[in-house]
């Protein structure tokens, strides 16, 4: 009999710090709200919750036991919970209070940053190294761990004009990670990085976490998302991040951060592969609706979308009667803007977070199915069967439009040309009649021929949309350095199929901000690897996390990548080019952004692993940048001595 898993929690909330100017007015209340949520929604037993509180006098809860939230007590509660938990259990650690950045107590570990990010207990700080060590211990014991921190990690407490307070302490004046993606391995590059546990932080490391009259803005938003769900345990962390992004879309001073496996859900289940990342409404301004995707995701002017209220599963919308039709009227690389398809606008009100599903495509990708003179009777029959299948479900083919090359061709050259070669294998040419290789082997008589062709075409189309994306023409280019430098291969990589090693250097050259209003000088960056085999991997940040923040005048930590050889390198009869092209696509955004929906397998791996405006003349004024992209190509000779030597050594070992 398998024992049922338990959920445990350590919850701390501190309003009353030794220095009265650091007092908060909602942290203890937030802790109590999280406790109530765990008990009511997640059915956590009260005996499994360790509560540490320091509320204001007269606001102490009655009928609930709690401890003093000292440094020692918080760490002891975590340690005790680790001893109680068993493999498969779930642990929540929630902290609401002040956070700070201080000079590091671990200079050897933090040679680059020289900074400790701390949470402020009632009597002292708990630095990130200590917190990470104990959270990691939970994971080592196979306990699924979630840390929620509603505090900030930047100095200078203040009170905004809207009477919200920043949860960071005021001051008196005076590892190595490796990705499994074929293209490259990150070989070298501390708390705000990808961990084995989940971390939900109220803001980026350099930002402030706000609290309003009813408590922390982040905690309120998080509970709103959880409570709006029919069963919050089914919510994936990626879905939670999407909905938080929507709620904080117009807030440049606080952008929540979620680290960990996005495909896992609040209830502790991990799904295989990526959960769907949908196109959603990020902003509504009267009749103008903003979608969170643009041309990089295949959105074009004139496209028609159906909008649905969000559900626990973004890929399964509510009933069609609940949908609202909108038409895309303006688009850039990462966003698009729509107006209601009908006039007057429908009575139903669209809200941020609504999910958009493609209804009609304004500009289709044309696919010609050619007929070659050499086709045998069997190949001609397969071709005819394919055309018949396509004619039965033209709407399911979006965004593609297929033509019979023998009967009719589009007025201009088709975007892609498909045909079967003499061996009965599918071949694809682009608009310039270049053969697209490598692609998976698809036989003309395959039982799932159409599905496999559609899968390959969607894969290539998504890759090309991202590859061809250019920065907006009306935006001011941000100031930065982006370089690839030569480095020596490590001893470990000499034993692997490593063709070359490179260092990626990025520095934010914007000047240091002098006021909080200039926080947009911080650049959020993502670096993707586009391989020559139609793969898209993420180099930085690691796995599929959101973009990392690079503050003005700062550079990213040392980042060294290894260029890996293809799986068939060195095999007899393998047809390979003289050089491999790897494109590093840099994205710089004004706020955190996820590019996880662009990630896709390398075909080499698949193969071997089976509105209008009034016209007037005016000068163009560059706008403040919202996003930018850049790219560098790395050409790697396939005659790398390290790989040849490694292959020879393997052959010698096999011969012995």
| Tens digits of residue pLDDT in 514-527 | 544 444 588 999 99
646, β-bridge pairs: none
Q: Is the distance from CB of 235 to CB of 266 less than 8 angstroms?
A: yes
Residue 1 inside a domain? The answer is no
Q: 140-191 pLDDT, tens per residue?
A: 999 999 999 998 764 333 323 344 555 556 544 333 333 333 344 554 444 5
Give the structural domain span for 396: 365-467
Residue 589 inside a domain? The answer is yes
Contacts of 410-414 spanning 24+ positions with Cβ under 8 A: 410/366, 410/368, 412/366, 414/366, 414/367, 414/368
Same domain, 370 and 355: no
**Among 259, 287, 309, residue at a domain's last position:** 259
For residue 616, the tally of other CB atoms under 10 A from its CB is 5
Same domain, 537 and 417: no
Same domain, 646 and 535: yes
d(CA 322, CA 339): 17
Residues of the chain with pLDDT under 70: 1-4, 110-113, 153-195, 206, 250-252, 269-277, 312-322, 343-348, 394-395, 408-411, 490-496, 512-520, 543-544, 567-577, 604-626, 639-656
Percent of the chain at pLDDT > 70 equals: 75
How do strand 324-331 and strand 279-285 relate by DSSP bridges? unpaired
Contacts of 227-232 spanning 24+ positions with Cβ under 8 A: 227/37, 227/41, 229/312, 230/311, 230/312, 231/312, 232/41, 232/42, 232/266
Q: 193-251 pLDDT, tens per residue?
A: 556 789 898 887 767 788 887 789 999 999 999 988 878 888 888 888 888 888 887 66
d(CA 19, CA 23): 7
Same domain, 15 and 130: yes
Same domain, 79 and 219: yes
Same domain, 353 and 407: no
Same domain, 648 and 554: yes
What single DSSP character describes residue 87?
A: T
Provide the pLDDT for residue 610: 42
Using CA atoms, how far residue 519 sits from 192, 207, 244, 251, 347, in Å, is 19, 9, 20, 11, 39
- Residue 557 falls in which region: left (phi positive, over 0), alpha (psi -120 to 50) or beta: beta
| Residue 29 token pair | 């209340």
Provide the pLDDT for residue 551: 86
Same domain, 566 and 440: no
Residue 459 belongs to a domain with what CATH number?
3.40.50
Same domain, 651 and 512: yes
Same domain, 390 and 322: no
Give the total number of structural domains in the chain.
Answer: 4
């Amino acid at each position: 009999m398998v024992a049922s898993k338990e959920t445990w929690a350590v919850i701390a909330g501190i309003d009353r710090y030794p220095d009265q100017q650091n007092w908060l007015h909602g942290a203890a209340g937030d802790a109590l709200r999280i406790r109530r949520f765990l008990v009511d929604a997640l059915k956590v037993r009260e005996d499994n919750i360790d509560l540490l509180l320091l509320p204001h006098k007269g606001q102490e809860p009655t009928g609930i036991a709690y401890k003093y939230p000292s440094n020692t007590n918080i760490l002891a509660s975590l340690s005790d919970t680790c001893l109680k938990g068993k493999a498969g259990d779930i642990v929540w650690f929630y902290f609401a209070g002040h956070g700070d950045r201080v000079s590091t107590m671990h200079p050897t570990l933090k040679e680059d940053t020289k900074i400790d990010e701390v949470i402020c207990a009632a009597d002292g700080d708990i630095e990130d190294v200590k917190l990470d060590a104990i959270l990691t211990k939970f994971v080592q014991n196979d306990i699924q761990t979630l840390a929620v921190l509603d505090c900030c990690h930047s100095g200078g407490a203040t009170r905004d004009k809207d009477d919200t307070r920043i949860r960071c302490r005021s001051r008196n004046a005076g590892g190595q990670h490796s990705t499994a993606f074929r293209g490259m391995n990150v070989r070298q590059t501390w708390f705000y990085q990808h961990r084995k546990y989940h971390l939900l932080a109220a803001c980026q490391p350099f930002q402030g976490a706000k609290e309003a009259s009813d408590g922390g803005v982040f905690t309120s938003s998080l509970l709103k998302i959880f409570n709006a769900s029919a069963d919050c345990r089914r919510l994936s962390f990626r879905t939670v991040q999407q909905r938080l992004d929507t709620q904080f879309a117009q807030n440049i001073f606080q952008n929540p951060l979620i680290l960990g496996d996005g495909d896992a859900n609040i209830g502790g289940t991990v799904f295989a592969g990526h959960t769907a990342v949908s196109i959603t409404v990020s902003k509504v301004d009267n009749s103008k609706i903003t979608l969170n995707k643009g041309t990089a995701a295949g959105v074009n002017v004139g496209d028609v979308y159906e909008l649905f209220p969000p559900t626990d599963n973004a890929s399964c919308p509510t009933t069609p009667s609940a949908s609202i039709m909108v038409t895309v009227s303006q688009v850039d690389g990462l966003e698009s803007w729509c107006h209601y398809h009908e006039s007057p606008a429908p009575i139903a009100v669209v809200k941020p977070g609504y999910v958009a599903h493609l209804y009609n495509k304004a500009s289709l990708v044309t696919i010609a199915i050619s007929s070659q003179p050499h086709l045998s009777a069997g190949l001609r029959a397969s071709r005819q069967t394919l055309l018949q299948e396509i004619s039965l479900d033209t709407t399911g083919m979006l965004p593609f439009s297929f033509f019979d090359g023998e009967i009719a061709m589009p007025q201009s050259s088709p975007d892609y040309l498909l045909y079967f070669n003499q061996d009965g294998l599918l071949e694809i040419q682009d608009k310039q009649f270049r053969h697209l290789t490598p692609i998976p082997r698809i036989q003309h008589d395959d039982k799932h021929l159409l599905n496999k062709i559609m899968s390959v075409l969607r894969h290539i189309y998504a890759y090309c949309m991202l590859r061809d994306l250019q920065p907006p023409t009306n935006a001011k280019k941000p100031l930065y350095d982006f370089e690839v430098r030569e480095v020596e291969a490590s001893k470990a990589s000499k034993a692997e199929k490593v063709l070359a090693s490179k260092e990626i250097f990025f520095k934010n050259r914007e000047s240091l901000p002098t006021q909080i209003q200039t926080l947009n000088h911080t650049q959020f960056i993502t670096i993707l690897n586009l391989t020559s085999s139609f793969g898209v991997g993420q180099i930085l940040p690691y796995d599929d996390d959101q973009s990392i923040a690079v503050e003005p005048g700062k550079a990213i930590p040392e980042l060294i990548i290894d260029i890996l050889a293809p799986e068939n390198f060195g095999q007899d009869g393998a047809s390979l080019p003289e050089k491999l092209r790897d494109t590093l696509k840099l994205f710089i955004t004004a706020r955190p952004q996820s590019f996880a929906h662009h990630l896709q397998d390398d075909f080499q791996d698949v193969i071997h692993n089976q509105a209008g405006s009034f016209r007037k003349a005016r000068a163009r004024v560059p706008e403040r940048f919202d996003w930018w992209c850049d790219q560098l190509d790395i050409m790697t000779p396939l005659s790398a001595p390290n790989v040849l030597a490694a292959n020879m050594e393997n052959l010698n070992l096999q011969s012995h």
